[in-house]
Structure 1
């Protein structure tokens, strides 16, 4: 019988060394640094987020007109919720509807 059988099953015999290609690959990866997030805007009440279809329906604007107004600062900016998801605060949209520019 060899000495390997005296250890419990699954016990590691050797620690991975730096020359181990898997360990070396894992050690060389660095986490990506993201820019700091802007400080959150203080809102005194819970505000509902509305997605693009509802904003277009409320404002009676086309998609391209809405985004042109956002780009020129004549419409509130959207809030990014994910990689491909944006929404607007309902109170900002309703305030713009009271005095559209």
Structure 2
């Protein structure tokens, strides 16, 4: 089962600012948000975690321990 997380949680998990998250989305380098309602969006938690894991793997030369 997938969980949604709000922008504040995404910022806390990634240590990236709101504006940088949206800039990465525009460049296709960060998971896109899911529209929940007319004025509410969230991210799929596993997609954000996969992005974090990929950053760690890239740092470590493509290998994960």
- TM-score using structure 1 length: 0.54
Q: How does 1:54-65 map to 2 (within 5 A)?
A: 54-65=9-20
Larger radius of gyration, structure 1 or 2?
1
Q: Gapped runs of 5+ residues in structure 1?
A: 1-45
Q: Larger strand proportion, structure 1 or 2?
A: 2
Runs (4+) off by over 6 Å: none
Q: Gapped runs of 5+ residues in structure 2?
A: 59-65
Alignment coverage as a number of residue pairs = 56
- TM-score using structure 2 length: 0.82
Superposed CA RMSD: 1.2
